């Protein structure tokens, strides 16, 4: 029997669009009580925190919102490859980017933790909950190069920088003649490293982050490679998700709370996006069924078309060899994830 206890149950009707099933929540006499958001301190994390704060303020104009910037293990440990940070620190999965935020939730110093959802482990500890997600941005990966032309323009032996095992495996699958080189740092730092050209000929980044930070417009201005404003000599090539599979939850902002904190749950769900919730529920459930963590080389993405959820995945076997690719569709996110999982076995 499918165990759904570890996944949050969608509380919205997909047919209702952006509107929750219940009436707009009222803060009553709690609007004076401060509400504290916890966030990492990177440029991208701060933009995501500001987006969350603006959404809350729009629904609850009188809500007093405070921000707490927290440095996580993943931010501190830049001396080793990201895949090795958890091992070095004795932390499971990609908890390297959430450990200190969850400690702050435990202590009550913050009421909600704002995450890039793809950084959040597939299964949370029972005392925490993913309460909601904001409307999703673009899900694609972007190849950034110093020469126009994308992957096709990279010469054999070119060095591609990434800290993601998913991206590394897909580069090796699509272009085995390229060399994958570890790359750490926030988005601007990675772009500057590429500009320097000392260690990388190209790097891979998430489109959502580039758009949120103003390095790319939401919609491409031209077909193929695009120049990056403010970064002379760098070109971005948005990779078709059906060719280069994104990470589960990529492009989504996740709001994590204490599982028993109903006030924070209500506030988070008041700004949650129903369609994004359905999509990420399917994607994360598929990872749970695979027993796959954030470092497992799995690409999975979804789309919601006329009420039907479409889910596709590319999974790289731990024993090596060619990846498995499968697709499933339906209206129930947990059912679609199960169908996709069963089609791989």
- The pLDDT tens digits of the residues spanning 325-343 come to 999 999 999 999 999 999 9
Q: How confident is the model at residue 255 (pLDDT cuts 50, 70, 90)?
A: very high
pLDDT at res. 71: 83
Contacts of 72 (CB under 8 A, 6+ apart): 40, 96, 97, 98, 99, 100, 101
Q: CA neighbours within 13 Å on the CB side: how many for 210?
A: 31
pLDDT digits (tens, 9 = 90+) for 235-251: 999 999 999 999 999 99
Name the residue with higher pLDDT: 71 or 243: 243
Enzyme catalytic residues = 119
pLDDT tens readout for residues 145-196: 998 888 988 999 999 999 899 999 999 999 999 999 999 889 999 999 999 8
Please spell the DSSP secondary structure of 240-297, one letter per residue: PTTTS---TTTT-EEEEEETT-HHHHHHHHHT--HHHHHHHHHHHHHHHHHT--TTS-
Q: Which residues pair with 116 in a beta bridge?
A: 253
- Domains belonging to the chain, first-starting first, are 14-137+248-344 (3.40.190.10), 141-238 (3.40.190.10)
Q: What is the Cα–Cα distance from 319 to 1, expressed in whole angstroms?
A: 27
What is the rounded average pLDDT of the residues 289-294? Answer: 73
86-95, 141-150, 296-305: segment of lowest average pLDDT = 86-95
pLDDT, greater one: 262 or 93: 262
Mean pLDDT over residues 210-215, rounded?
96
Average pLDDT of the residues of the chain: 86
Kindly report which listed range (1-15, 89-103, 272-286) carries the lowest average pLDDT score.
Answer: 1-15
pLDDT at 200 over 50: yes
* pLDDT higher than 80, residue 87: no
- Res. 11 pLDDT band, cuts 50 70 90: very low
Residue 173 CA to residue 69 CA, distance in Å, equals 38
Q: Over 70: is that where the pLDDT of 294 sits? A: no
Determine the pLDDT at residue 317. Answer: 85
Numbers of helices and strands, H then E, in the chain: 10, 14
Question: Tens digit of pLDDT for each residue in 16-54?
Answer: 333 344 445 555 556 568 899 999 999 999 999 999 999
User: Residue 143 — φ and ψ, nearest 5°?
Assistant: -95, 120
The answer, yes or no, to whether residue 226 has pLDDT greater than 80, is: yes
Q: Which helix (H) or strand (E) element contains residue 50?
A: helix 43-59
Among residues 140, 148, 318, 152, the alpha carbon closest in space to that of 243 is found at: 140
Could you tell me the pLDDT band of residue 75, with boundaries at 50, 70 and 90? low
pLDDT > 70 in the chain, percent = 82
By C-alpha distance, which of 93, 40, 18, 75 is closest to 254?
40
> pTM to 2 decimals?
0.85
Q: Are 340 and 315 in contact (CB under 8 A)?
A: no
Whose tokens are 């492009």? That residue is 251
pLDDT at residue 293, as a whole number: 53
Q: If 0-12 CB within 10 Å is exposed, 13-18 middle and 19+ buried, where does residue 221 land? A: exposed
Structure tokens at 96: 């390297």
pLDDT given for residue 252 in this prediction: 98
314 and 298 Cβ atoms separated by less than 8 Å: yes
What confidence score (pLDDT) does residue 296 get? Answer: 67
Residue position matching structure tokens 């320097």: 196
């Amino acid at each position: 029997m499918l165990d759904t206890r570890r996944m949050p149950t969608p509380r919205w009707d997909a047919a209702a669009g952006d509107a929750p099933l219940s009436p707009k929540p009222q803060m009553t006499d709690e609007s004076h009580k401060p509400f504290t958001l916890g966030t990492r301190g990177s440029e991208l994390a701060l933009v995501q925190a500001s987006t969350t704060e603006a959404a809350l303020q729009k629904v609850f104009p009188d809500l007093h919102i405070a921000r707490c910037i927290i440095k996580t293990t993943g931010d501190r440990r830049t001396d080793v490859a990201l895949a090795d940070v958890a091992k070095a620190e004795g932390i499971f999965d990609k908890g390297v980017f959430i450990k200190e935020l969850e400690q702050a939730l435990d202590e009550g110093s913050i009421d909600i933790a704002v995450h890039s959802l793809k950084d959040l482990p597939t299964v949370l500890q029972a005392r925490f909950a993913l309460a909601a997600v904001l409307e999703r941005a673009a899900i694609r990966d972007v190849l950034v190069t110093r020469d126009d032309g994308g992957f096709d323009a990279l010469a054999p032996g070119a060095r591609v920088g990434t800290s993601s095992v998913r991206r590394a495996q897909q580069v090796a699958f699509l272009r085995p003649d390229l060399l994958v080189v570890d790359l750490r740092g926030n988005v601007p730092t990675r772009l500057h490293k590429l500009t320097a050209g000392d260690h990388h000929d190209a790097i891979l980044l998430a489109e959502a982050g580039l758009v949120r930070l103003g390095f790319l417009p939401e919609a491409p201005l031209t077909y193929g490679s695009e120049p990056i404003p403010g970064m002379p000599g760098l070109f971005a090539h948005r990779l078709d998700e059906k060719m280069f599979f994104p990470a589960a939850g990529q492009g989504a902002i996740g709001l994590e709370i204490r599982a028993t904190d109903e006030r924070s749950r209500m506030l988070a769900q008041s700004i949650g996006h129903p369609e994004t919730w359905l999509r990420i529920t399917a994607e994360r459930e598929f990872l749970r069924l695979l027993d796959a963590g954030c470092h497992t080389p799995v690409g999975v993405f979804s789309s919601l078309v006329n009420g039907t959820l479409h889910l596709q995945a590319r999974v790289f076997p731990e024993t090596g060899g060619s990846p498995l690719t499968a697709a499933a569709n339906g209206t129930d996110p947990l059912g679609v994830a199960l169908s996709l999982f069963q089609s791989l076995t």
